[in-house]
């Protein structure tokens, strides 16, 4: 799955990467788990 990029109103930059699982038939399924990173220095990503 491709990462999603967001910029909030307060100019906070976020990178969200959804977790995916591939089933035996080869189709990816998106879960409800996401990895969220704050880019406070616009290039220095920290996981939260």
Query: How far, in Å, are 5, 7, 31, 43 from residue 11 at the CA level?
Result: 12, 6, 28, 14
Look at the alpha carbons of 7, 36, 30, 21 in this order and tell me if their dihedral is positive or negative. Answer: positive
- Contact predicate 16/35, CB 8 Å: yes
Pairing of strands 28-39, 45-47: antiparallel
The pTM assigned to this predicted structure is 0.57
Alpha helices, H only, 1-48: none
Tens of pLDDT, residue by residue over 1-40, are: 678 888 988 888 898 888 777 677 877 776 778 889 987 6
């Amino acid at each position: 799955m491709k990462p999603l990029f967001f910029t909030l109103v307060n100019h906070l930059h976020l990178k969200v990467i959804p977790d995916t699982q591939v089933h035996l038939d080869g189709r990816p399924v998106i879960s409800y788990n996401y990895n969220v990173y704050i880019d406070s220095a616009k290039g220095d990503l920290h996981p939260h």
